[in-house]
Structure 1
Amino acid sequence: MRIARFTDGSEPGFGVVEGSVEEGNAVISVIAPHPFGPFSFTGARRPLGDVRLLAPVLPSKVLCVGKNYADHVREMGGDTPPERPI
């Protein structure tokens, strides 16, 4: 089973890729709510060529680190890196 996360211009969704990508007849059979637990097929199908594939994750948070090396500290107007990342 090939599972994909995609968007067709609306909210991102998940589906199972069926058919042959090489032969150009691949479609995504939409599933709900997501493949990380019990899911069901909605009955909707989207041609693979009509969607944009997305990273296969459910992002819950974004982590960033600033001033994590000496050159970056100087670029930001500081003089020494902090003891801990910020």
Structure 2
Amino acid sequence: MGRAKEHFMELQQIQDETRLAEKLGITYEELCATEWHIETFTSKDGLIYDYVVYFESGPKEILKKIKGLDKDNQVSFQPHEFKDNNHDHE
């Protein structure tokens, strides 16, 4: 892969993570201070039911700020909440 394409992909990832942070009610920098991943739940036909962001670890003061964070340290989003992103989240 060329350097220009790598740079573009890095910028796209930063934009996606910045939008995710905004949806969570934290800053991009705060999101970067946590360990997290996203899983997509789909039907056998490929229909996306929801996205779940799992937080494995992070500073407690940041985790407390996250909108919708449940007792299992996860946040669910409906597919329409990610309609502004142009690619898969996994």
Q: Normalized against structure 2, the TM-score is what?
A: 0.30
Rg: which structure is higher?
1
TM-score w.r.t. structure 1 length? 0.31
Structure number with the higher helix fraction is: 2
